[in-house]
Amino acid sequence: MHAFPIEWVRSQFPSLELSVDGRPAIFLDAPGGTQVPIGVTRAVRDYYRKNNSNVGGRFVTSKNTVEIVYRTRTALADFFHSNRPEEIVFGQNMTSLTFSLSRAIAKTWDPDSEIIVTSLDHDANISPWKLAAADRGCTVRTWEMRTEDCTLRIEDLRPLISEKTCLIAVTLASNAVGSIVDVAGVVELVAGTGIKVFVDAVHFAPHGHIDVQKLGCDFLVCSAYKFFGPHIGVLWGKYQWLDELEAYKVRPSPAMPPEKWETGTQSFESIAGISGALDYLKETGYKANGSCGIGGAMEAIQEYESDLSLRFLDGLQDLKRATLFGLGNQDHIRRRVPTFAIGIEGLHPDEAAEKLAGRGIFVWSGNFYAADLIERLGLADSGGVLRLGFTHYHTIEEVDRTIDALAML
């Protein structure tokens, strides 16, 4: 059995060498964007140095750019376990892609149609659908999370579904509290009804294997800067829907996916950077367990991160003034990613974040656009929560140092 190659992993992230007042920095800001390995910066640099061009030209740099785009689509198809690279669409970010697709899908809705969103999601998977529904005169229903553990239960979704339901928008993992949602269970519930399932996988992507075949969803979207890549969004969609739906596009417009859905000139340097991120992940998997595939790599990462989560939850139990929002049962560790939302009695989240920053520990405070979730927890008027996000480049020692710093607060 291979040990997780944490020393090699950390050597791939030069930013982790940063110190604050003599203390090594701990980047627990990963939920807002992970750090980037050297393979990504090298890929972006090499693109600018050797291949910088638009597509459609007869010359070598343009042809190379086309090849880079296709190679990255193919790698992402493997990352998502997609049927074909033509199901991969690039965009500015997850939010922009969701707004674009929601507008196109909404054209197929009748005024009496209903859609379902959740109170667990980032607002980027709520507002686009609410606005699209308002444009069409449709009804929006909300699948409410259980506030006691910040989870979504299938039994709470079932009564919301009717013959008028046409779409369910749901996250794969909460960006605020880390809860993982049973998306496959959602798809199974609506099988054969024609209801489409749109999944926000932004927060889950760096933590586990995404398999759209097993999930069974119709669309899935994420942003590469959340899984160690550049700032660019990625959409996966079933080819049938990408082909049939009408895209909002300037003339002349390619008739076939995926270019049909890509507006303007793409960020080709960022697309090259995605390949660098995926190559890094596969190399991590090979060093961790001998796996040559992305699935094995993400399984190794998830296993290692589970150890980090268990260590953090164990240490958190000794902090009497700290409250965890979300799943805290160590037996349910595979039902969450290592993102933790906490409150500290008598201390505003912003003040706590400021104090931790002074100790070289970078965390977020607020609602992180999970506004409905924070409101349901009754924390909207008190500054939200303190969010700490671990990922596979963190160490057990950093978990312990974080617990010690929280104890000092």
Q: What is the CATH number of the domain that holds 327?
A: 3.90.1150.10
Note whether 332 and 376 are same-domain residues. yes
Note whether 196 and 83 are same-domain residues. yes
Domain assignment present for residue 294? The answer is no
End-to-end CA distance of the chain: 40
At residue 295, what is the residue type? G
Note whether 25 and 47 are same-domain residues. no
**C-alpha distances out from residue 283 to 4, 85, 232, 276, Å:** 12, 22, 22, 11
Note whether 25 and 98 are same-domain residues. no
Res 252: pLDDT: 74
Domain assignment present for residue 219? The answer is yes
Note whether 112 and 150 are same-domain residues. yes
Residue with tokens 């880079």: 68
Note whether 308 and 266 are same-domain residues. no
Q: Average pLDDT by consecutive 10-residue portion of the chain (409 residues)?
A: 89 98 97 98 98 97 98 98 98 98 97 97 98 98 98 98 98 98 98 98 98 98 98 98 94 84 96 98 95 93 98 97 97 97 97 98 98 98 98 98 97
**Is 204 in contact with 337 (CB distance < 8 Å)?**
yes
Domain assignment present for residue 289? The answer is no
* Phi–psi pair at 23, nearest 5 degrees: -100, 135
Res 1: pLDDT: 46
N residues, the chain: 409
Note whether 134 and 257 are same-domain residues. yes
Q: How far apart are CA 54 and CA 63, in angstroms?
A: 9
- The enclosing domain of 192 has a CATH number of 3.40.640.10
Note whether 30 and 54 are same-domain residues. no
* Radius of gyration of the chain, Cα coordinates, nearest whole angstrom: 21
Residue that terminates a domain, selected from 277, 295, 318: 277
Question: Residue 101 corresponds to which tokens in the numbers above?
Answer: 């697709």
Note whether 97 and 228 are same-domain residues. yes
* Phi–psi pair at 238, nearest 5 degrees: -55, 135
Note whether 403 and 271 are same-domain residues. no
* Strand 339-344, strand 322-325: pairing: antiparallel
Note whether 128 and 12 are same-domain residues. no
- What is the separation of C-alpha 171 from the centre of its chain, rounded to a whole number of angstroms? 9
Domain assignment present for residue 296? The answer is no
At residue 201, what is the residue type? A
Q: Is the pTM of this model over 0.85?
A: yes
Range of the domain at 80: 42-277
Q: Which residues of 175-214 are buried (b: 16+ CB within 10 A; e: fewer)?
A: bbbbbbbbbeebbebbeeeebbbbbbbbbbbbbbbbebee
Domain assignment present for residue 75? The answer is yes
Domain assignment present for residue 288? The answer is no
Note whether 25 and 68 are same-domain residues. no
Q: How many domains does the chain have?
A: 2
Res 144: pLDDT: 98
Dihedral (CA of 346, 349, 351, 352) sign: positive
